Structure 1
């Protein structure tokens, strides 16, 4: 995609600054190397400005907004500002609400690669020309096509990062894409439907939030709030099971009326269809002909993150969160060892690794110790007497299995990141306003605050430094919020830390810098008790010193989410999700027109990807 000079000029004030940054292309400069001047950039203040604010040493480039053609050969419909694109158009365009992403280098220089990203959900008011006035089957198709995953090819040139179009790698995976189901739950009774009696195939992935990357170079997309798309007549809710209520798949509670126009979303007719969502889905970004695969051995939940590492003995370990109040943190350990490499042979050799292993749930005990508890049928009460006929039911109803074995109910566990040198594991706990309410779990050691409005970051160290260990030591890296507010309970790792709230996205770069992204609801931004935090933001932390410095603030109403640093650490990709999300309950207006408009209402706000670099071409985070 050509460089959007207008957005650079808004930040730099002159064309000379644009040339200074991108005239040198992607050549590695002679300036900072190694850790460089860690957090040496000028921190930005909390802000309610409707735009992107970065340190003066940095510039940003608009790369891939909603509606941009993906680059599939022969299919390049332009974005229609009036939302007039068809469902077929949307199937080959950037989806809405960009989220987790990763950069896969295509050459040794890192100047060319595949950017793979999630599209979490839709804003139906923006997606359709007539908004939500009337539902149709075509609108449902377009909505399903606006979620899922994009695979695009990009290249860094003297004019900055540009999308390669057409590209043999370009691809959209969406809510109607055929995919396979594998692992212990595949083919079992709860996975079978009228459309797929074998229970081993499904159409689509949606509600794609955080992600992971396997050691062999495939992308893991996580299906989070899938439950809101399944519905039915309200009277059908009377027969809802305990499992359906726990997962939220209860007729009448849906937020999208797909069931009226697409039969498979009708819970009263196809109660097993929701069992086929809520999984980690593996995608080979290098092979656009390969069917995505839902890996049931990793358990079904509202998936948030699938962060991979390799244990000392060579087995794969995957850490996962379940982003709901009072849900769990999980760890999967494969039975077989990882075959090294990221080429086609390695991907083929490891293709079954995620189908066979043991799922665990975390218990955080007082005193800073914890245990990983196995979720294995026949052990620790996971048997028919407690509603689990076999291992497939343990995995399909992983939340209920976590209850039985005694996992710790957490304050919305979201992204998980692993320190590249120490192996410490960090997780964001976004918030939990119901902690300590009547009939709800009370504060505990790992979740110490009642009415936890601001969340925090928890970390642990596996025993012996081995990711396959069953025991660990844990502590709080940060309890977020405004320390100046009486009773906030905020606590940061050092006195040199900018405050934040509702941490969500989390990413370690190769140098060990921790990038933190926030997701305060659009309804509370700028209001007490969040006033001092401004719009959502991204910060950079140095765990070695405990310093945390604010790096970016975003437009009105947006969430900052999705973050990856290129291998050479000279470009930071960041996603701006749902700019313009209304602040007031019941207010359907959008309070931003970013990035195309200057005033709310002047253009449809569009989620988009940014490429951020230092003006001198140095290492990001310095």
Structure 2
């Protein structure tokens, strides 16, 4: 979903903002840092990491991959996940019921991971579903909203677990499967960490603050070394009907008087009325941990990782075996976070590490102009994070992570999205864009965010001194996205190779390739400064040289998101989200195929998010 929230315009003074630096100076600094990045240590530059011929820019309603590669579509929205005794077929008129949707793959696939069952021949695909398009979810779209429509749209959110296997060179979804599972906006969730049971999480329906119904607007994801899936609750605030007069905390999290919830869940599910239940929004915006191998397990909201419009949760280990999680917050002027666990990862999988993410230190990033930075701990009692400043305890610091980060003077970023870590220890974050930076009431440019009216975005990266738990780090821009043919200099970028705009998804594969996925919104795709970039794409980058090659272009109106592979690196899975999305994220239910008819191309069909399987003809490593 294209974020609509901007709750931190930055009118307050910022101790680290470089508003006196000219745009020309900051762009030159970014280019110098990029040149330094090309000399990063690692694989010798005379051994090419990227071996495929790049594909051209395209506006076609299809998936384009390089010569010698094949694609296969599996697991589209509405297909059954494989629950025994509940496998309703997809209705092409979108007439499936709420109960049927709860047994089918959700809408708008996003974060994705392959968990092996039998090497590279079979496994579990776990994916989350970011949001729904009511104009395509129902035969008559948004008209006649009722309780059943609310239930169906809630059932189309959440997470799907499906079993897949390779048979004779083709992949298929196993149905039925004992692993199959749907997690939706009404699935019971447990709460772990310092905010569990906190007064700010208590409601009339849950006076203990220990049991939350559902997860939704799940964007990006991560995995843990102990074999669990992390799903990120992103633009959750738009699902709540604001009170008549929101208080300061509610306003800081995006609730505005007079605005309407994106969907009308509050009409038939009163917990989504923030005026009647002011603590309900505090129960969302968390990273949720799921054990994909145990369909009876309860998902857990890990509050020690902080509350945010989360997108991305990349986990790595310190040398002594503790978990480090890097997280972005996809909203204008918000922050980059890092969590370091107190304890070491133990052998024994999910059960042995059942509470590992409940104890540790959450920090927020500050990027300084000299290419250095620091992690600022969000710890109650340290610095300004005291009761006198509105933080009664650690739980309140975590619920109000934005306000805590404001006080600490963290760097306000251009919409941090996915994170990734390469084989040399550099951590990356995609900053997708911030078209209002530098305008009235918005922060000016700084070293980390060097462009006003930043329509194209950038990829920033950093490396801690010593280990991933280091307090200070060095940073640079891996690339400022853009089109070299753009008229405005600030929209041209510093990419070495194929142009792209609005980076979003990031993933580093087993060979060390950095995969970059783009998300130009439907309102700008093919227009203005984005006119020359075609449909959204996936590109492969060499972290050592900075070379970028376009590997895949998606169908009309879609976002490319989610990337994972089998252990042998010979099968890749990606997600195509919201093909056929119309301008302004709206469609016409009377003309569902107006903008796209991918993937089925049926005369009576409608566009559906789906997973694409990518392989090399005759075998071979993807990208080589």
Q: TM-score of the superposition, structure 1-length normalised?
A: 0.90
Say whether residues 1:191 and 2:201 are aligned partners: yes
Aligned position for 1:529: 529
1:242 offset after TM fit, Å? Answer: 1.6
Aligned counterpart, 1:549: 549
Please tell me whether residue 415 in structure 1 is matched to residue 418 in structure 2.
Answer: yes
CA contact (8 A) 1:328 1:413 kept: yes
Residue in structure 2 matched with residue 266 of structure 1 by the alignment:
273
1:111 is aligned to: 121
Partner of 1:310: 317
1:42 corresponds in structure 2 to 53
* Alpha-carbon RMSD: 1.6
Aligned counterparts of 1:584 and 1:292: Cα–Cα separation in 2: 33
Indicate which of 385, 399, 402 corresponds to 2:402: 399
- 1:530 counterpart SS class: helix
Q: CA deviation at 1:62?
A: 0.5
Q: Which residue number in structure 1 is paired with residue 498 of structure 2?
A: 498
Other-structure match for 1:425: 427
Q: How does 1:12-31 map to 2 (within 5 A)?
A: none
Asked if the contact 2:479/2:495 (under 8 Å) is kept, the reply is: no
How far off its partner does 1:491 sit? Answer: 6.8
Q: Which residue of 1 aligns with 2:596?
A: 592
The CA deviation string for residues 350-377 of structure 1, in whole angstroms up to 9 with x for no partner, is 1111111111000000010000000011
Cα distance in structure 2, aligned partners of 1:36 and 1:169 = 41
Are the counterparts in 2 of residues 479 and 489 from structure 1 also a CA contact under 8 Å?
no
Question: Residue 158 in 1 paired to residue 198 in 2?
Answer: no
Q: Which residue of 2 aligns with 1:91?
A: 102
Q: In the TM superposition, what is the alpha-carbon distance from 1:268 to its structure 2 partner? A: 1.4
Distance in 2, Cα, partners of 1:192 & 1:333:
27
Using the TM superposition, give the Cα deviation of residue 253 of structure 1 relative to its aligned residue in structure 2, in angstroms.
3.7
CA deviation after TM superposition for structure 1 residue 120, in Å: 0.4
Which of 218, 225, 229 lines up with 1:208 in the alignment? 218
Distance 1:128 1:48 in 2: 27
Aligned residues: 574
Contact 2:538–2:560, Cα closer than 8 Å, also in 1: yes
Residues 441-590 of structure 1 aligned to structure 2 (within 5 Å): 441-464=443-466, 466-489=467-490, 495=496, 497-583=497-583, 588=588, 590=594
How far 1:492 moved relative to its partner? 6.3
Rounded Cα–Cα distance in structure 2 between residues aligned with 1:287 and 1:65: 23
CA contact (8 A) 1:493 1:547 kept: no
For residues 173-221 of structure 1, give each alpha carbon's deviation from its aligned partner in whole angstroms, at most 9, with x where no partner exists.
1101111011111111111011111100011001000111111000000
SS at match of 2:570: coil
Indicate if the aligned counterparts of 2:480 and 2:495 stay in contact, CA closer than 8 A.
no
Cα distance change on mapping 1:584 and 1:363 into 2, 3 Å: closer
1:618 aligns with 2:624: no
Distance 1:180 1:250, change over 3 A: farther
Q: Which residue does 1:256 correspond to in 2?
A: 263
Kindly state the Cα deviation for residue 587 of structure 1 after the two structures are TM-superposed. Answer: 6.3
In 1, Cα distance between equivalents of 2:376 and 2:495: 33
Alpha-carbon distance in structure 1 between the residues aligned to 2:584 and 2:284: 31
| Residue pair 1:51, 1:554 contacting (<8 A) in 2 also | yes
CA contact (8 A) 1:460 1:473 kept: yes
- In structure 2, the residue matched to 1:221 is 231
Do the aligned partners of 1:481 and 1:488 also contact (CA within 8 Å) in 2? Answer: no
Aligned to 2:500, the other structure's residue is in SS state: coil
- 2:159 is paired with a residue of what secondary structure? strand
1:353 lines up with 2:356 in the alignment: yes
The answer to whether the aligner puts 1:148 opposite 2:152 as a matched pair is: no
Residues 454 and 491 in structure 2, CA contact (< 8 A), matched pair in contact too: no
| 1:246 and 2:257 matched | no
Match of 1:125 in 2: 135
How far is 1:603 from its partner? 2.1
Conserved? CA contact 1:516–1:539, under 8 Å: yes
**Cα contact 2:76–2:611 (8 A) shared by 1:** yes
Aligned residue number for residue 326 of structure 2: 319
> Structure 2, unaligned stretches of length 5 or more?
1-45
Deviations 1:420-447 (CA, angstroms, capped at 9, x unpaired): x201101100000011011110000000
Q: More relative contact order in 1 or in 2 (CA 8 Å, sep 6+)?
A: 2
Question: Could you say if the C-alpha distance between residues 99 and 587 of structure 1 is closer, same or farther in structure 2, counting changes exceeding 3 Å?
Answer: closer
Kindly provide the CA deviation profile for residues 256-312 of structure 1, in whole angstroms up to 9, marking residues without a partner as x.
111111111111111111111000000000000000000111100100111101112
Q: Does structure 2 retain, via aligned residues, the 8 Å contact 1:482–1:488?
A: no
Cα gap change, 1:584/1:356 in structure 2, threshold over 3 Å: closer, same or farther?
closer
Gaps of 5+ in 1: 1-34
Q: CA deviation at 1:144?
A: 0.7
Mapped contact 1:174–1:204 kept (Cα < 8 A): yes
CA–CA distance in structure 1, aligned partners of residues 147 and 200 of structure 2: 27
